Amino acid sequence: MRFLEGAPRFLFFTGKGGVGKTSLACATAIQLAQAGRRVLLVSTDPASNVGQVFGGSIGNKITPISDVPRLFALEIDPEAAAQAYRDRIVGPVRGKLPEAVVKGIEEQLSGACTTEIAAFDEFTALLTDTEITSAYDHIVFDTAPTGHTIRLLQLPVAWSGFLEAGQGDASCLGPLAGLEKQRAQYKAAVEALADGQRTRLVLVARAQNSALREAARTHGELAAIGLTQQFLIVNGLLPKEEAALDPLAKAIYGREQAALAAMPDALRRLPRDDVPLKPFNLVGLAALRQLLVETAPQLGAAGGEPVALRAPSLADLVDDIAADGHGLVMLMGKGGVGKTTLAAAVAVELARRGLPVHLTTSDPAAHLTETLHGSMAHLTVSRIDPHAETERYRQEVLRTKGASLDAQGRALLEEDLRSPCTEEIAVFQAFSRIIREAGEKFVVMDTAPTGHTLLLLDATGAYHREVARMLDAKGAHYTTPMMQLQDPNRTKVLIVTLAETTPVLEAASLQADLRRAGIEPWAWVINNSVAAARPRSPLLRKRAHNELAEVEKVKTSHARRYAAVPLREEEPVGVERLLKLAAPIREPA
């Protein structure tokens, strides 16, 4: 593999959700450790599954991986990092400053943006603090899906600029006075990221147009902030020999080759490795050790046996959703499971029935317009654009709160609004504005990958607690966005997953997080099911057999109701093909 030749100290794996970043990062860490290097594997994904991939528990502390000498792992936990950050900021001033001032600082540090900043603070420490990292030859970062990661990697530059120019006295970093350590740390992080001798970025993509476009966009945005040492891995390519045996496999192979032929020029110029599709789930050491090894697939007896999965269809779920006449429908799940496609399919089917529908997305890396690729009556489409919403929020605050300030006060307000945290508030406000429409029509929302969505829900919960604190004592009536999400008569949450071990575990973890927030998921959707597609290719049949146990877990242990959507020969892009996804499945004669 070219990306492993002369591996530098820092390796970042990033890409669209579901492309295999975690598996490749884990396999790389194992390979480097087996070569005699001491390796620290770090997940920066708020919805990390590194522990699940290794079949154990890791968490927010450096943990040795049993059975792999010299390999250690760490999952940055945003909540634990935030609490440690708050303790570090508030602890030294407690008892020294007036209690009201301490409470003011704690309030500033209670929001979702502080959670993000705290995780970012740990991330930059791993790039710069030799006390933590001097014991390791390589630090391999498994990052969150692209949108979240671009923001993470841009934050050192953004915060360095904010601290350099800052004239205010407080932010969600805490009091700005005394932040010399952070200023030096972020500057050193910027230098480490831009140093090609120390840092290499590995862009991971599938041979799909959307994944390759997103990889190209990531390449451009991260090159612009200095990460110029980049490699490309195209993961999960179907072997050519499978295409001769099966119309479905032939169609997939053809789509993949066409996507590679149309690859953006910016990616074509990068050093590239191809990793073939494996017949097994990438869970456990034995599977990870085979991922980067070029061997013929071992299919076993099940590889030749046909599979026929019978399960409820997406059409069954849409029938129940349509019966309500209006409401909020949110599709949630790990990146890459097909939330955007299924959100679009549900929306166009509701619109086809003459129901008014607003299809929208909170995913910074969404490709909703490309997926829909057309228009139809009764359907409107929008996207929560973080940059546009942030600018709208800034202008609104300056128009209202800034109107009565003098020149100095207005300058301080403008400075405060340049904080990177302003984006979190602006996105939450846009989210709240859109879901209010669900009282009169259907609002179908394609959400960002799990970790980003949980941060958005955290902001929603923080806002609810603040409103309740102010209005409960007055006996006032109110409805917050969180109350709307918790009301099953107003909101239906569909958890989207693939029928594979890790995605099902991640979906179950998401469901537990939602339940802790008082939100009960309404249904699960198993997307791109190979078993429901009845393949003939031996490799695909082997993967279909692997799915059956996961479908059974969804059906019996996790979901109140569920549906399976078969893997299609044609890419589900465009209104006509999306309508087919939501149509009843006809059994073969």
Q: Which of 22, 114, 210, 341 is catalytic?
A: 22
> Among residues 525, 566, 60, 527, which one has the least CA distance to residue 320?
525
Retrieve residue 495's tokens: 């958890």
Instruction: Decide if 390 is catalytic.
Output: no
The secondary structure of residue 537, as a DSSP letter, is S
Sheet holding 63-64, edge to edge: 63-64, 71-75, 39-43, 138-142, 10-15, 199-205, 230-237, 272-276
Identity (one letter) of the amino acid at 16?
K
Q: Which of 14, 23, 453, 480 is catalytic?
A: 23
Residue 224: which H helix or E strand, with range?
Answer: helix 209-224
The sign of the dihedral angle between the CA atoms of 174, 364, 510, 485 is positive
The sign of the dihedral angle between the CA atoms of 178, 180, 181, 187 is positive
Residue 360 β-bridge partners: 445
Q: Which of 45, 77, 246, 416 is catalytic?
A: 45
- Spatial separation of the C-alpha atoms in residues 573 and 410, rounded to whole Å: 48
Q: Which of 15, 18, 338, 461 is catalytic?
A: 18
- Spatial separation of the C-alpha atoms in residues 289 and 28, rounded to whole Å: 9
Centre a 10 Å sphere on the Cβ of residue 85 and count the other Cβ atoms it contains. 22
Instruction: Decide if 502 is catalytic.
Output: yes
Instruction: Decide if 240 is catalytic.
Output: no
Strands (E), 211-288: 230-237, 272-276
Q: Which of 16, 21, 278, 441 is catalytic?
A: 21
The sign of the dihedral angle between the CA atoms of 479, 482, 483, 485 is positive
Instruction: Decide if 479 is catalytic.
Output: no
Contact 334, 47 (CB under 8 A): yes
- Nearest 5°: phi and psi at 394? -60, -50
Instruction: Decide if 404 is catalytic.
Output: no
Centre a 10 Å sphere on the Cβ of residue 515 and count the other Cβ atoms it contains. 11
Retrieve residue 394's tokens: 């800034």
Q: Which of 362, 491, 502, 537 is catalytic?
A: 502
Q: Which of 20, 147, 333, 461 is catalytic?
A: 20
The secondary structure of residue 364, as a DSSP letter, is T
Instruction: Decide if 265 is catalytic.
Output: no
Instruction: Decide if 18 is catalytic.
Output: yes
- Spatial separation of the C-alpha atoms in residues 21 and 205, rounded to whole Å: 9
Identity (one letter) of the amino acid at 369?
T
Q: Which residues does the annotation mark as catalytic?
A: 18, 20-23, 45, 502
